[in-house]
Amino acid sequence: MKYLFSYIILFFTAFGLMADEPVSTSKFYGGEIIFKNSSSYNLFLEFDIAYNPFGELPLNQFALEKLDAIVTEYYFLVPFEEDKNFDIASIYPKNYFKNIRIYDMETGILMTEIKPSEKEMFILIHGNVESFPAFYILTIEDTLLIGG
C-alpha cells in the first residue's frame, strides 16, 4: 500500500511538472493570409518582403491554380523589451509585402507586378493587426492581372 501511494504521488508530481507552461518572453503579431485565385489563369506568385527582424513568412513563392486558395501564416515574434519601440504599421500586409509578381504558370510570362503599398489589396476579414491572429484575404481576379 505504501508503494501504491508513492507511485500515485510520483505520477501526479511528474504530470504537474509537464503541465507547467514556460513563461512567454515575446508578443505575437500577424496572423493568416488567404490568397485566392478567382482568375481564369493558373498563377505563380513571387513576393518581395520588407526586412523585419521579427517577422517571418514561410512561403515567398507559390503556385495557385484556377479557383484555388492557399492559406499561409505570417507572424512577428517581438520580445517584450522591444515591443514599445516596435512599429506596428510594419506588419500590415500592405507594408510588409514590398512587391508581388504574378506569372502565368503555363507560359511563364509576367502578367503583373503589384506594389501593395500603392493599392489596398489585402482585406481584413477577422481580428485586428494589434492582436494575434488577424485574418486577411487577397483575391486575384482577371481585372487585377490585366491592369484594372
Domain ranges (residues) in the chain:
23-146
User: Are 32 and 136 spatial neighbours (Cβ–Cβ below 8 Å)?
Assistant: yes
What the block records as the C-alpha cell of 146 is 490585366
Residue of 89, 96, 103 whose CA lies nearest to 121? 96
pTM of the model: 0.75
Residue 8: pLDDT over 90: no
* Proportion of the chain in helix, strand, coil states, percent, rounded to 5: 25, 40, 35
Query: Per-residue pLDDT tens for 127-138?
Result: 877 777 889 999
Residue 22: pLDDT over 70: no
- Which letter, b or e, does each residue of 19-52 get, where b requires 16 or more Cβ atoms within 10 Å of its Cβ? eeeeeeeebebbbbbbbbbebebbbbbebeeeeb
**CATH number for region 23-146:** 2.60.40
Task: Give the model's pLDDT for residue 147.
Answer: 62
> How does residue 14 score in pLDDT terms, banded at 50, 70 and 90?
low
Residue 48: pLDDT over 80: yes
Phi/psi at 51 (nearest 5 deg)?
A: -65, 130
d(CA 96, CA 53): 12
Question: For residue 133, is the peptide bond before it cis, meaning its omega torsion is within 30 degrees of 0?
Answer: yes
Task: Give the model's pLDDT for residue 137.
Answer: 92
d(CA 113, CA 108): 14
Q: What is the mean pLDDT of residues 5-23?
A: 59
